Amino acid sequence: MGSVKDLKVLKQANEQSLGLGRFTFSDRYSVFDWGEMPDKISYKGAAIAILGAYFFEKLESMGIDTHYLGLVENDEAKPLSELNVNSDTMEIKLLRVIRPQVVDGKYDYSPYKHQKVGFLIPLEIIYRNYLPPGSSVFRRLERGEITPQDLGLNSMPVPNQKLDKPIIDFSTKLEITDRYINYEEAKEISGLSTEEMNSIVEITNTINQLITDEFSKIGLVNEDGKIEVGFNMNRKIMLVDVFGTLDECRFTYKGIPISKEIARIHYRKSQWYNEVEKAKRIDRQNWKKICILKPEPLPKKLVDLISQIYCSCTNEITKREWFKNIPPFENILKEIQDLI
């Protein structure tokens, strides 16, 4: 399916009904849209699957529709409360994925205007509570692609700025490289009504608050994150993919970044990262083919510490010891801080 998880289709989705499938969350990871990186992070897949299931079950209890059916144990989908061991496989309802084709150098989204139900909306919806130094917002401001006013700000933001009101951002989901777009373009390419767009924004704000509240209990700050959505067979918004995890969100603990942001910080100091940015400026669609370098592996100690972070967060948020012999949270973060 992608660089970090695999999809097994049990029943194909079609225009008359949703499909059925299983996500297997791997120990692979990706940064900067590169795809699979050289290292694997032990237990990451199971940690993401369990945390994702936890938040899906929270949303379902709030009356928000999702594609989640349970985590798989002994070939059966179960809620977390019935799971005896950790699992990296999630059973889900499948939507149709309608990929826009490139016509005359541009993506053609016209098919979405004729679709009614049971499909993935081709957007990633990003919420931002803070603007950390690595946020794409600063690069977009520097390049003149957006202005502070576009973000609802009166002046140029500074790194680590806490926002008075969350920013809701949109990017494409099904293009070779994610492309940030404004509210009107997001609405246009997806064939959505104003009411449907506003519903997506409202759900995003609800999820943002849920994640913020849950992670604040263990001392983590929810800086930003993303969700993906589609339409069920009643054209009701349905949450898909996974959310609220250390892959979909950016968290800090006393100013220390958590999850794969640690890897991003390491790689931003590399020549490989400079070449990635250079290639993207030359050709947004084929940048990976022209990038002249490949990423080097992370230091083994850093890989081990990132693994412990994933496991520790899942244990702490769900209040269940899915992963054994994990050092205290503060000890893990102190070692990470010394390394980066």
Q: How far apart are CA 325 and CA 302, in angstroms?
A: 18
Query: Taking 80 as the threshold, does the pLDDT of residue 340 lie above it?
Result: no
Query: Taking 90 as the threshold, does the pLDDT of residue 205 lie above it?
Result: yes
Domain boundaries, position 134: 5-339
Query: Taking 70 as the threshold, does the pLDDT of residue 2 lie above it?
Result: no
pLDDT of residue 233: 97
Sign of the Cα torsion 323, 44, 41, 23 reads positive
Phi, psi of 143 (to 5 degrees): -85, -5
Q: How far apart are CA 314 and CA 317, in angstroms?
A: 5
Q: Which of 3, 87, 97, 5 is nearest to 46 (CA)?
A: 87
| CATH value at residue 334 | 3.30.470.20
3-state helix, strand, coil in the chain (%, to 5): 35, 25, 40
How many angstroms from the chain centroid is the CA of residue 306? 17
Q: Which pLDDT tens digit goes with each residue over 160-189?
A: 999 999 999 999 999 987 899 999 999 999
As beta bridge partners, residue 52 has none
- For residues 235 and 134, the model is more confident at 235
pLDDT of residue 285: 80
Q: How many helices (H) and strands (E) does the chain have?
A: 9, 14
Residue 11: which residues within 8 A CB-CB, separation 6 or more?
19, 20, 21, 94
Task: Supply 149's token pair.
Answer: 């006013």
Q: How far apart are CA 68 and CA 277, in angstroms?
A: 36
Q: DSSP code of 295? A: P
- What does the mean pLDDT of the chain come to? 93
Looking at the structure of the chain, the number of domains it has is 1
- How many CB atoms are located within 10 Å of the residue 27 CB? 18
Q: Which pLDDT tens digit goes with each residue over 12-67?
A: 999 999 999 999 999 999 999 898 999 999 999 999 999 999 999 999 999 999 99
Q: Is 254 exposed, middle or buried (0-12, 13-18, 19+ CB in 10 A)?
A: exposed
What is the percent of the chain with per-residue pLDDT over 70, rounded to a whole number? 99
pLDDT of residue 225: 95
Q: Which of 31, 78, 18 is nearest to 240 (CA)?
A: 18
104 in the Ramachandran plot: left (φ > 0), alpha (ψ -120 to 50) or beta?
left
pLDDT category at 1 given cuts 50, 70, 90 is low
Contact 192, 111 (CB under 8 A): no
Task: Supply 68's token pair.
Answer: 């989640």
Q: Which pLDDT tens digit goes with each residue over 242-283?
A: 999 998 999 998 888 887 788 988 999 999 999 999 999 999
